[in-house]
């Protein structure tokens, strides 16, 4: 009886070990695999805008040698477009690659990939409303991720953060790490922290900003660190600070995209003239 039970346990353990080995093996394959085929060609105008978004945010000091911008694929919501691993100010149309939402490249061609591309894939999965995403290390945002002072809208261009900017504490989800969003699980954790907000701070690292278009996410990514600087300057003056009232923010928000094309044209011309 005892030996039969033992045998059964041994068989069960063996089956468990085999299935564990198989799933580990599958995970290994999944991590290295590339998505099956392209979702189709993309309008050159969108690629041009994605290149411009990178160049504009570099020119505006929002992206340095790191950070990235992506846009959801217009033909397939389960794909997104992102540059190969390259400094944003140097990116060209040839650098733009297609990824599936697990952040596997469609056609890597041995090109190096951004380590933190999982930020994009996991947010696109969690947020069907999001069309474009920026990941930035803008220095002005860092104090609000490492202190207890909440980032709040102090001027009209940042009304979009009236509902607050959550702070993603990677330690709570993953303990001690090198701070980078290196896999899908960390990307999911960041997407959870973002919730339905337009931006989330990443403690000691930077931020992620999302939007319904490339132009909107670029505008938001410029105005978010600018708001942080203005809020710190107002606090340094001493005394109470007057923030936008939620009602004011709502009224500004109704027109958030208004006039943005005008700014976009100027930002783009300046940034593209640098090449």
> What is the set of active-site residues?
116
From the number of C-beta atoms within 10 Å of its C-beta (0-12, 13-18, 19+), residue 166 rates as: middle
- DSSP-assigned beta bridge partners for residue 24: none
Query: Which residues on adjacent β-strands are paired with residue 202?
Result: 168, 206
Cα 33 to Cα 27: distance, rounded to the nearest angstrom: 10
Residue 28 CB neighbour total at 10 angstroms: 10
Those residues whose C-beta lies under 8 Å from the C-beta of residue 226, and which sit 6 or more positions away, are 140, 157, 158
N-terminal to C-terminal alpha carbon distance within the chain: 80
User: Which residues contact residue 145 at a Cβ distance below 8 angstroms, ignoring those fewer than 6 apart?
Assistant: 167, 201, 202, 203, 204, 205, 206, 207
How far is residue 115's CA from residue 82's CA, in Å, rounded to a whole number? Answer: 12
């Amino acid at each position: 009886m005892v030996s039969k039970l033992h045998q059964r346990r041994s068989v069960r353990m063996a089956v468990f070990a085999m299935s564990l080995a198989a799933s580990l093996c599958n995970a290994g394959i999944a991590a290295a695999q590339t998505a099956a085929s392209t979702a189709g060609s993309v309008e050159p105008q969108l690629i041009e805008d994605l290149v411009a978004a990178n160049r504009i945010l570099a020119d505006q000091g929002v992206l340095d040698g790191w950070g990235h911008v992506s846009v959801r694929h217009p033909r397939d919501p389960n794909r997104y477009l992102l540059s190969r691993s390259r400094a944003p100010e140097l990116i060209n149309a040839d650098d733009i690659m297609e990824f599936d939402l697990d952040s596997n490249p469609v056609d890597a061609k041995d090109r190096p990939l951004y380590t933190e591309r999982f930020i994009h894939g996991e947010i696109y999965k969690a947020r069907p409303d999001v069309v474009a995403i920026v990941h930035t290390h803008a220095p002005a945002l860092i104090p609000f991720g490492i202190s207890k002072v909440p980032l709040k809208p102090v001027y009209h261009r940042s009304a979009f953060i009236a509902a607050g900017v959550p702070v993603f504490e990677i330690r709570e989800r993953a303990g001690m790490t090198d701070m980078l969003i290196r896999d899908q699980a960390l990307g999911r954790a960041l997407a959870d922290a973002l919730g339905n907000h337009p931006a989330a701070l990443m403690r000691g690292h930077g931020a992620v900003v999302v939007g319904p278009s490339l132009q909107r996410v670029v505008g938001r990514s410029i105005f978010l660190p600018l708001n942080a600087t203005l809020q710190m300057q107002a606090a340094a003056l001493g005394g109470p600070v007057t923030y936008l009232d939620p009602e004011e923010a709502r009224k500004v928000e109704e027109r958030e995209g208004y006039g943005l094309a005008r700014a976009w044209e100027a930002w783009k011309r300046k940034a593209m003239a640098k090449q």
